[in-house]
């Protein structure tokens, strides 16, 4: 029988890739978002545009039974968005409302299986001060001390999903994503994360130019290519584990190392100008022991392989936007 699936946040980066994969599997997919997907206009079997903070709209979205529900819609961005301080109330109000509405509607309809995308941003800031040895093991989440309101909302919502599991027996699956990147992600406009931002800056630079890097570039992160994120998401959703499980790469690099990697891929000799900017935690890396133990699987692709595909896509977007400006001029 054809599997019936709902993807909330289908107009976004990860949601768009997830819908494509589910369609390839032969699923019937209803995608929902407040906007259409920027790069794939006919994505999903059926697409509903509307605000998931609106309970009446959510009732229309959850008007049938689904075999699987993926709740990825959120007010989301990279360091420039979540650490600016300007967006905290909107992030918390928007994302918490979506999760409250979706869980209530799914519970009323007795829809069991639901996936929620939490974040590495829930981990306590005090465990991420040493760039060489951050602790992001799943059981290190408490005592809670996320470094952003975005992280606090994610932690609240994780608990909300777990409460529906305990009280109503919902088949909940929670992942903590660690900085996901790839083609068709936000690459400009203020919400872009470091991989796309660095690709854009280097694509726009001349062969021996200088680019701006926030901070001293010695802060560490790991970055997961989107295809492996989708693979991990489906494996977790279809497993007996409710999580929360890290879905991330454990190939930790400094931001300076990532800049050098992208410069090498681009074939440019890029110089770095370190400037003040929103930094977030000093070090972060995905701890993959639990996912390996639980799912007998963990991401394994190299950062370089993902950056090669991402740089090719971002530089194409940069060229197209230059061409559009020239046409207008
Ligand atoms: P994204 O911003 O590309 O996608 C989120 C989508 O949610 C957007 O298309 C947005 O329009 C939609 N949305 C927001 N508010 C809405 C509303 N009120 N009604 C309907 N739609 C609404 O982000 P993404 O990178 O695809 O992230 C997907 C999920 O994974 C999010 O929950 C995010 O917090 C989580 N996550 C992502 C990362 C990452 O590195 N990309 C890391 C950790 C967690
Ligand atoms: N975005 C961006 N742009 N970051 C830069 C830049 C730049 O031009 N230059 C240096 N950085 C640095 C940031 O200061 C930060 O220290 C690091 O690169 C990583 O930044 P981001 O990729 O924007 O975000 P993050 O890793 O701190 O947090 C992201 O990942 C979380 C999950 O791991 C965010 O997208 C969160 O929303 C997400 O939950």
pLDDT per residue as tens digits for the range 120-134: 999 999 999 999 999
pLDDT in tens, 229-240: 999 999 999 999
Instruction: Say if residue 179's pLDDT is above 70.
Output: yes
Instruction: Say if residue 329's pLDDT is above 70.
Output: no
- Whether residue 299 is contained in a domain is answered as no
Q: How far apart are CA 254 and CA 18, in angstroms?
A: 29
pLDDT (0 to 100) of residue 123: 98
Taking residues 50-78, what's their average pLDDT?
A: 97
97 CA closest ligand 1 atom index: 18
- Whether residue 258 is contained in a domain is answered as no
- Whether residue 45 is contained in a domain is answered as yes
Taking residues 279-293, what's their average pLDDT?
A: 98
The mean predicted confidence, pLDDT, of the chain is 96
1 — pLDDT class (breaks 50, 70, 90): confident
pLDDT (0 to 100) of residue 111: 84
52 CA closest ligand 1 atom index: 19
Instruction: Say if residue 41's pLDDT is above 90.
Output: no
User: Which residue bears the tokens 């918490």?
Assistant: 96
Question: What contacts 280, CB < 8 A, 6 or more positions away?
Answer: 79, 82, 83, 147, 148, 219
Q: From residue 324, how far is each of 117, 204, 320 by CA, in Å?
A: 35, 15, 6
Instruction: Say if residue 110's pLDDT is above 90.
Output: no
Taking residues 224-252, what's their average pLDDT?
A: 98
Q: Tell me which residue range forms the domain holding 128.
A: 4-181+225-247
- Whether residue 207 is contained in a domain is answered as no
Question: Pairing state of beta strands 220-221 and 253-254?
Answer: antiparallel
- Whether residue 141 is contained in a domain is answered as yes
Catalytic-labelled residue, pool 150, 164, 177, 311: 150
44 — pLDDT class (breaks 50, 70, 90): confident
- Whether residue 26 is contained in a domain is answered as yes
CATH number at residue 23: 3.40.50.720
Any atom of ligand 1 within 6 Å of the Cβ of 70: no
150 part of the active site = yes
pLDDT (0 to 100) of residue 2: 93
Instruction: Say if residue 19's pLDDT is above 90.
Output: yes
Environment class of residue 301 by beta-carbon count within 10 Å: exposed (0-12), middle (13-18) or buried (19+)? middle
| Residue located nearest, by CA, to atom 4 of ligand 1 | 12
| Residue located nearest, by CA, to atom 8 of ligand 2 | 197
Q: How far apart are CA 218 and CA 29, in angstroms?
A: 42
Q: How many structural domains comprise the chain? A: 1
Lowest-pLDDT range, 135-144, 169-178, 315-324?
315-324
Instruction: Say if residue 208's pLDDT is above 90.
Output: no
């Amino acid at each position: 029988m054809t599997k019936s699936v709902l993807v909330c946040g289908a107009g976004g980066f990860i949601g768009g890739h997830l819908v494509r994969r589910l369609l390839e599997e032969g699923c019937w997919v209803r995608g929902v978002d407040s906007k259409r997907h920027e790069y794939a206009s006919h994505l999903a079997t059926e697409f509903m545009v509307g605000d998931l903070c609106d309970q009446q709209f959510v009732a229309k979205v959850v008007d049938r039974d689904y075999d699987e529900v993926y709740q990825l819609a959120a007010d989301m961005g990279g360091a420039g968005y979540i650490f600016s301080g300007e967006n905290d109330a909107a992030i918390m109000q928007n994302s918490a409302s979506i999760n409250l509405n979706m869980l209530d509607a799914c519970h009323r309809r007795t829809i069991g299986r639901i996936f929620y995308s939490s974040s590495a941003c829930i981990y306590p800031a005090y465990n991420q001060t040493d760039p060489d040895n951050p602790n992001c093991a799943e059981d290190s989440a408490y005592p809670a001390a996320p470094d952003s309101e975005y992280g606090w909302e994610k932690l609240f919502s994780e608990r909300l999903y777990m409460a529906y599991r305990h009280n109503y027996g919902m088949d909940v699956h929670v992942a903590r994503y660690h900085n996901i990147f790839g083609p068709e992600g936000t690459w400009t406009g203020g919400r872009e994360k470091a991989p796309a931002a660095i690709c854009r800056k280097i694509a726009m630079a001349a062969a021996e130019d200088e680019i701006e890097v926030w901070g001293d570039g010695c802060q560490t992160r790991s970055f997961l290519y989107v295809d492996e994120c989708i693979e991990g998401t489906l494996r977790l959703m279809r497993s007996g584990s409710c999580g929360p499980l890290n879905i991330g790469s454990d190939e930790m690099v400094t931001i300076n190392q990532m800049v050098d990697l992208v410069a090498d891929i681009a074939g440019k000799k890029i110089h770095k100008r370190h400037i003040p900017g929103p930094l977030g935690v000093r070090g972060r890396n995905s701890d993959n022991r639990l996912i390996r133990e639980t799912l007998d699987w963990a991401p394994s692709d190299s950062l370089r392989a993902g950056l090669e595909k991402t740089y090719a896509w971002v530089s194409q977007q940069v060229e197209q936007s230059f061409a559009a400006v020239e046409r207008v001029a």
